Amino acid sequence: MRLVGARTAGGEVLVCALSDDGSEVAVYAEVSTFWARPESQLANRPSGGVLAVDSIELVPPVVGDARVLCIGLNYQDHVNEGSFRNESLPEVPTLFARWPQSLSVDGSGIPVPSGEDGLDWEGEVVAWIGRTLVDATPEEALAAVIGYSTFNDVTSRRAQKQTSQWIMGKNGDRSGPLGPMVPAAEVGDLRDGLRVETRVNGRVAQHGNTAQMIYGVGDTLAHISRSFTLNPGDLLATGTPSGVGYSRTPPWLLQPGDIVEVEIERLGLLTNHIVGNDERHRAAARAGISAAIR
């Protein structure tokens, strides 16, 4: 099963199951209703009718107040290739945050922000949280994961490196393309190892395996839950293996016209194209016109 978000002509966002051929979706519920009780929703077949994909807009099935938490430096070979190679590995994961507004979907164009020489790729797995977690054990936290998705944590490196905080570099418009959610029962334990591969214009840039992760999903979610409550619909991006572009000599960054793909075993293929900064201005203008009409 692959779960996606569908925005209707009226602006409502629905959580749906995507058909095998990708031509239609079967509706579970409006997004906030779905994430209020996601486990019980998935225990039943979708009952909200069927919509043709060409009649809706595919969007991330993310509730508006979701937290998108991300692990930085979660593969030793990625640590070794970057500016942290000479530093001791911390006892707890390095975490940063994205806003849901930065997320996009398969097929979306990702604009290069002004002031950037290009964009960098980071193929990884996202875990979706299905239960409330407060002071959870690692076992409880892992059991609360309801599904996983392919993700590309596309990064504006110049903005990221300007300060010790990474928010500017990690929240560019549409810079977080997210694949459909696959139920956890169909994926299994990431520690058993899923292949992670990123390709740029068909050339392999990253090739890793989730068995190489330093900080496990359960341990990380348990650690977070000791500071604040995690809710159904929150997401955890689990970090990327080695092979990013900025650490190469010379740096290899995504330019308008490039195609970047992330493919993860059992989760599927995520494909996006890079566009110029002028596309950001056009999108903002379209959004303003749409808001005025409403």
Specify whether 175 is located in the same domain as 199: yes
pLDDT at residue 83, as a whole number: 58
Specify whether 53 is located in the same domain as 71: no
User: pTM, whole model, 2 decimals?
Assistant: 0.95
Specify whether 193 is located in the same domain as 236: yes
Q: What sign for the dihedral angle of Cα 174, 177, 183, 184?
A: negative
Specify whether 40 is located in the same domain as 116: no
Specify whether 33 is located in the same domain as 143: no
Specify whether 283 is located in the same domain as 206: yes
pLDDT at residue 294, as a whole number: 45
15-61 pLDDT, tens digit each: 999 999 999 999 999 999 999 999 999 999 999 999 999 999 999 99
Q: Report the domain count for the chain.
A: 2
Q: How far apart are CA 32 and CA 287, in angstroms?
A: 23
Mean pLDDT, each 10-residue run in order, the chain (294 residues): 97 97 98 98 96 97 97 85 68 94 98 97 98 98 98 97 94 98 97 97 97 96 98 97 94 98 98 96 77 46
Specify whether 55 is located in the same domain as 134: no
Specify whether 234 is located in the same domain as 178: yes
Domain that holds residue 45: 1-59
Specify whether 143 is located in the same domain as 10: no
Specify whether 1 is located in the same domain as 136: no
Specify whether 94 is located in the same domain as 174: yes
pLDDT at residue 79, as a whole number: 79
